[in-house]
Amino acid sequence: MKVFVYGTLRKHEGNHALLKSAVLIAQQAWIYGELFDTGYGYPAMKRSEQGKVYGELYEIDQAILSKLDDLEEYKADREDNLYERVEAQIFTDNGEYSGLVYIEKKEGLGKELIPHGDWKLYQLLNKKPASIYYFAYGSCMDVERFEKAQVAHLFEKVAGACKLEGYSMKYLFSANDGGRADIIEDGGVTEGILYDIPFQGLYYLFDREGFNLGWYRPTFVDVKMSETLIPDVLTFHVYKKQPESAPPLHYAKEILRGSKGRVSPGYYQKLEEELVRLGCKL
């Protein structure tokens, strides 16, 4: 059976150990609904067609389900449950699934609406840490764009080149003049640059990626630098993926300029080959 989790059961959150023997199907999953802060250190979801809640999808067995029921204090047919366990449609980069999700049953459990439906992002924005790790891929590796935007000082601390395993880079965001880069959770590998940026750099990235316009959404991934795993790194993922299309030449040049000598030679060659395949005349 499958279960969608959106709060403390997600990777690197306080109760994720309950899913240690579960199989991750999708880290980038979502469901229709609205997310609320309960004020107790965990969120609650309500059914709604007006918003989206982001989380992860797992394959679990009956033993894990029993542990999740205990955590949520859920008992079948009990009237005073905090949560109801229901079947719902879950959306991922690789299609739709039917699975279980725990939603609010006790009226008033969810107190404050969590904008954009992401518990991890909500916590980050509330904590406002001095600095955060940011994974740049595609044209976001191009230093010249930072300089032109007069924000190069926010991206001075380069941790190094790294790999995002489980994701491929495709051109799935459709702009007026062609495609823009995106990551899709399809089992591939995307190389990029890991930056250690001050918190205020987040607002530049939100603007650049069209976060409030519904273009790209912030998400959190684990990247590898050499053999070191760095968890919960901020990156951006297209909200509404379109069929892949060729990027304009100026954008292709930014990608190649930003990645040359920084990513592996094999990956750089792959970038060139993909651009040519899509019809870019480099």
Instruction: Name the residues annotated as catalytic.
Output: 209
Three-state SS string over the chain comes to CEEEECCCCCCCCCCHHHHCCCEEEEEEEEEECEEEECCCCCEEEECCCCCEEEEEEEECCHHHHHHHHHHCCCCCCCCCCCEEEEEEEEEECCEEEEEEEEEECCCCCCCEECHHHCHHHHHHHHHCCCEEEEEECHHHHCHHHHHHCCCHHHHCCEEEEEEEECCEEEEEEEECCEEEEEEECCCCEEEEEEEEEECCHHHHHHHHCCHHHCCEEEEEEEEEECCEEEEEEEEEEECCCCCCCCCCHHHHHHHHHHHCCCCCHHHHHHHHHHHHHCCCCC
Task: Quote the CA–CA distance of 25 and 22 in Å, as a whole number.
Answer: 9
